[in-house]
Amino acid sequence: MAPALDVSVSFDNVRDKNMMLLKKLNAAIFPVKYQDNYYTDALASGDFTKLAYYGDICVGNIACRVEKKESETKIYIMTLGVLAPYRNLGIGTKLLNSVLDLCQQDPKIVEIYLH
């Protein structure tokens, strides 16, 4: 496997006004259609759901669900994807690291997981 290139990637949080970008990316990347509760959870996660831009082009995303129980919080990574032409550039790694960095900043987060 070739080392990831150092590419310029910027992130934006998902909000109501750019939710359609997340929906379009998911339709292009994943073989399933996500229900409304997926997008509700993604929007509610705040900084834990991000869009990745390569230049001005939205090319990937990470979508998480925040699960709070008593004094502990878990982060569930629902999806992590990058459009095929932009894979192997390190964009997915940068998306994942952005969420891991947020988790390290919050002592209430005890677990981050995916399946």
CATH number at residue 50: 3.40.630.30
In a domain, 3, yes or no: no
- Known catalytic membership, residue 76: yes
Q: Which of 34, 53, 76, 86 is catalytic?
A: 76
| Predicted local distance difference test score (pLDDT) of residue 5 | 56
30-46 core/surface letters (b: 16 or more CB in 10 A; e: else): eeeebeeebbebbbebe
| Predicted local distance difference test score (pLDDT) of residue 115 | 85
| Sites in the chain below the pLDDT cut of 50 | none
In a domain, 1, yes or no: no
Residue-wise pLDDT for 25-56, tens only, equals 999 999 999 999 999 999 999 999 999 999 89
Q: Angle CA(76)–CA(62)–CA(24) in degrees, nearest 5?
A: 125
Residue for token digits 């109501």?
16
In a domain, 2, yes or no: no
- Known catalytic membership, residue 115: yes
| Predicted local distance difference test score (pLDDT) of residue 2 | 52
